[in-house]
Amino acid sequence: MELSWDLLRPVMSVPYLPTLGPLHPDAVSAGLLDAIARVAATGEFLPHDKDRRWSDRKDERLLVGDVRQDRLRTLLPTLTGRGVLHVHLYGGSEHRAEARETAAKLAALHDAAAARLVWFQAQPDPVAASTRVQLRTFDHPAPAVDGIEHLDALPGPVRATFGAFAEKLADEGFAFLYSRIDSVGLVLTAVRDDRVVGAIGPMETLPDPVGKARLLPQYFGVLPEYRGLGLGRQLWRAAMHWGGTHGADYQLLQTTAGGASDRLCQAEGLADLGFVCTTTA
């Protein structure tokens, strides 16, 4: 069926669109929804897609022909190149059973390896993986932070320890970042005992659908044995200083509900835009 923004807009509780993820509330529009549908079968990136820095082809596509909509709910299914099918439910909890059944049926139809249900609400869900969407604007300058250095500015032997750091935090994405380290923006680091023990990056901006400069999401972590020393907060504030001095208008983040990054962002005063909840279908 044809996608209808007029049907989706009233049931959208979190500014999030399939294949693009969280968005600034001002950037969500009928035109953007149409653009997602237009490139769905092409493998092309939209100009403002944050994932384009990692690949030359879009991995996830909207299954336009399988969309289900009425005035009470919208079901937007997507499929990744790895065979993972998601059904994004916009609407009340009373529609979850239908969305789960739809996900299972579409997974079989498209020979997907896994099926997941995604929905949106104001609070974390006790039975689902819940990530908070948070917004940080750069209306006021963030002060510089002492003791945080660019990875490329570190002495050679210290810089060489970043590989070991990345391996230890592979589950937080640093091994992937390390594999692309020569082709992405700078990485900010915390050094103790002549080795990298914390990092945040890459630091990059990209215009969003309405032309505002978005500070793109970063990998962010501190080695377990160096946590509790305030290094995470230093790294975060250094990243915000970088964003403010490089023209960023805002940053959007998704943080695991109740996790260390979530608590830090809440303490730093980020605006809470709601939760993205995910379960297997």
Domain ranges of the chain: 5-132, 139-248
Tell me the HSE value of 216 on the side-chain side, using a 13 A CA sphere: 20
Q: Which stretches of the chain drop beneath a pLDDT of 70?
A: 1
Topology, domain 139-248: Aminopeptidase (3.40.630)
C-alpha pair distances (Å), 267 with each of 188, 236, 256: 21, 12, 15
Q: What is the structure's pLDDT at 1?
A: 60
3-state helix, strand, coil in the chain (%, to 5): 35, 30, 35
**In angstroms, rounded to a whole number, what is the distance separating the alpha carbons of residues 234 and 256?**
20
Report pLDDT digits (tens) over 249-268: 999 999 999 998 899 999 99
Report pLDDT digits (tens) over 204-225: 999 999 999 999 999 999 999 9
**In angstroms, rounded to a whole number, what is the distance separating the alpha carbons of residues 233 and 146?**
12
The answer to whether 135 and 271 are in contact (CB under 8 A) is yes
Tell me the HSE value of 36 on the side-chain side, using a 13 A CA sphere: 27
